[in-house]
């Protein structure tokens, strides 16, 4: 039994640390990365479609849908697909009082939207790219509405600390 204790302790520690997460503010590098991805996608849209982002949520969501429907961005163009998620997330952030953070856990580091004072997070950056990568149909408006419903659900939760 004495020999098993260190092994059991190591297993418990490993399981406990796998469940841990933390958040950090976006670094200037993260902010620049997100802005560059948005600019690249906007340039593509201006050249290919003669349109641009920045004309309001509904216009931006329709534009993302048009890009996907026309297959202007291929499934392996992850940065461009994630730029669509960044634009989606930016509208969610502005309209719902969220903030961008870096969410880190055992699986890695992600850009996420934090619902203030709730310890819950949304990951809009990958909402579109993960669907396109597996060949699923993408309804941008439905994704946005589902994320907004999730934000409302989270905000209603009572958190006891």
Reduced to 3 states (helix: H, G, I; strand: E, B; else coil), residue 64 is: helix
Residue 52 in tokens: 């641009």
Please report the domains of the chain, with CATH numbers, ordered by start residue.
Answer: 24-156 (1.20.120.1090)
Q: What is the DSSP string of 81-92?
A: HHHHHHHHHHHH
8 A C-beta contact, residue 115 and residue 154: yes
Span 21-76, pLDDT tens digits: 999 999 999 999 999 999 999 999 999 999 999 999 999 999 999 999 999 999 99
Q: Is the pLDDT of residue 10 over 60?
A: no
Span 111-156, pLDDT tens digits: 999 999 888 999 999 999 999 999 999 999 999 999 999 999 999 9
Residue 145 in tokens: 């509405």
pTM reported for the whole predicted model: 0.85
Distance CA 47, CA 103 (A): 34
């Amino acid at each position: 039994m004495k020999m098993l204790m260190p092994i059991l302790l190591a297993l418990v520690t490993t399981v406990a640390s796998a469940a841990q997460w933390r958040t950090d503010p976006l670094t200037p590098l993260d902010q620049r990365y997100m802005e560059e991805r948005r600019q690249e996608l906007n340039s593509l849209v201006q050249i290919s479609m003669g349109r641009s982002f920045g004309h309001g949520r509904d216009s931006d969501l329709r534009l993302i849908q048009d890009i996907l429907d026309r297959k202007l961005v291929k499934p392996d163009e992850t940065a461009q697909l994630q730029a669509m998620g960044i634009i989606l997330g930016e509208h969610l952030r502005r309209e719902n009082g969220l903030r961008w953070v870096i969410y880190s856990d055992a699986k890695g580091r992600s850009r996420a939207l934090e619902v203030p004072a709730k310890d819950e997070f949304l990951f809009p950056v990958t909402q579109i790219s993960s669907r396109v990568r597996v060949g699923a149909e993408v309804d941008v408006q439905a994704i946005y509405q589902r994320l907004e419903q999730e934000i409302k659900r989270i905000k209603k939760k009572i958190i006891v600390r």
